[in-house]
Each structure stands twice: as structure tokens, then as C-alpha cells.
Amino acid sequence: MERYFSTLVDQLVEQVQAAGGQLRARREAAPRLDDAHTRELVGAYVAALRAAGWLTNVSAEQLETILDLRVMTDDDGSVSLDVDSEVTGSVWGVPGWGTIETDAAAVGAGLAEDELEQLAAMRDEGELTGWE
């Protein structure tokens, strides 16, 4: 029984790793968000985090790569914005990008709100984030 369980776990791990690799490859192949929307989204994101006391000692170079923004197209043709945050390590999805969701500044501020919750939890647990 133990041997069977071990084999089953190994198979599940392999499947998860393969699926993760496919997702990473798909994300890397997706186009980046255009420069104008990127500036608007990142600007609102940074402003919201700074207003809450974060990013006070972060260089301009770090801010340039704080969010990796990719436009993902699903098999059904729907488009979403995929956001990979250097601040918390989170990956966020914004469905309907360019159709029902078009306000880059609102998206940036909303992402900051979500990240602030995670940062507060990290701070409460005594973790140093490097983004203070």
C-alpha cells in the first residue's frame, strides 16, 4: 500500500510540474502590455503602495520591473491581463482586459489593495520583504 501511494504521489507531482511548465511557456510567449497602459497601471500601483507606506526606499530601476504584465488570449478568444508581482511573488489575473476591463489605473490601484493585504500579513509574521 505504501509503495502504491508513493508511486501515485510521484505521478501527481510529475503532472503538476508538466502543467506548470506549459503555463510558464504560454505566459512567456504572450505579448507584454503596451507601454502606455503599463505606465498608467504601474504608476497607480506604485502610488497606492507608497500612500500606504511601502516602496519608500525602492530605486527607479526596481520600479521598472516591479510588475510583469502579459496579455493572455485563451482558446475561446477571451483576453485577460496576467500580472506577475515582484513585490509579493503573486500572479494575478484580470479577466476581460481590453473589453470590459479597460481602466489601467483602476486595475493598478486594485492590485495594490490586494497586495497590501498580503504585505500586512507578511509584516505581521515578521517577514522582511525588501519593499519597505
pLDDT along the chain (132 residues), means of 10: 69 60 70 94 96 90 92 90 93 89 93 93 82 74
Tell me, yes or no, whether 45 and 95 share the same domain. Answer: yes
Residues 53 and 116 in one domain: yes
Overall domain count for the chain: 2
pLDDT value at position 87? Answer: 92
Whole-angstrom Cα distance, residue 50 to residue 100?
A: 28
Classify 72 as helix, strand or coil.
strand
Print the domain residue range for 118.
Answer: 31-124
Using an 8 Å Cβ cutoff, are 47 and 66 in contact?
Answer: no
Q: Model-level pTM? A: 0.79
